[in-house]
Amino acid sequence: MASIFTKIIQGEIPCEKIIETDSEIAFLDIMPCAEGHTLVIPKLEVKRLEDLPESEALSLMRTMQHVAKAVSAAFDGIDYNLILNNGANAGQEVEHVHFHVLPRPQGSSRPFHQRAKYAEGEMQEVGAKIRNCL
Ligand code: 5GP
């Protein structure tokens, strides 16, 4: 089902893109719960993880590992959370499967639902910082 993420994939809505492959795109979350909070999504329009064909799920995992390494490296930590809200009861708001990558440098423990917008120009700086670590 088409969602706001379809528009991002198609370039109709701008995003701070970290990486794009044939099958996935990763970009900064617009309402981050940590600086560098990144979403990794398949281009295939499916709602839930189990709706992805196995080959697409494996490809998503490969890209996620690549992105997660860069996200944590950019925030001089080795720790991060990978979060999947799979279905409405699990907190999924956008009906297009996506993983959240949350860098967790020492002392950062903001809960998932505690969000703060980036200041003007900050999102672009954070995106560049992560891309430099790819
Ligand atoms: P969910 O609750 O479905 O797991 O997470 C959806 C995420 O998508 C939220 O963290 C939300 O901030 C993010 N999001 C929603 N709309 C947009 C958008 O237009 N651009 C970006 N970059 N992120 C979005």
- The 3-class SS string of the chain reads CCCHHHHHHCCCCCCCEEEECCCEEEEECCCCCCCCCEEEEECCCCCCHHHCCHHHHHHHHHHHHHHHHHHHHHCCCCCEEEEECCCHHHCCCCCCCCEEEEECCCCCCCCCCCCCCCCCCHHHHHHHHHHCCC
From the candidates 37, 96, 98, 100, give the one annotated as an active-site residue.
98
The predicted-structure confidence for 51-105, as pLDDT tens digits, reads as follows: 999 999 999 999 999 999 999 999 887 899 999 999 999 999 999 999 999 998 8
What are the structural domains of the chain?
Answer: 4-131 (3.30.428.10)
Q: Residue 113's pLDDT is what?
A: 84
Q: What is the CA radius of gyration of the chain?
A: 14
pLDDT at 1: 74
40/60 Cα distance (integer angstroms): 8
58 close to 109: Cβ distance less than 8 angstroms: no
The per-residue pLDDT for range 34-43, each reduced to its tens digit, is 999 999 999 9
Ligand 1: residues with CB < 6 A are 4, 13, 15, 27-31, 39, 85, 91-94
For this structure, is 98 an active site residue?
yes
Mean of the per-residue pLDDT values of the chain: 95
Alpha carbon 11 to its chain centroid, in Å, reads: 16
CA distance 23 to 44: 7
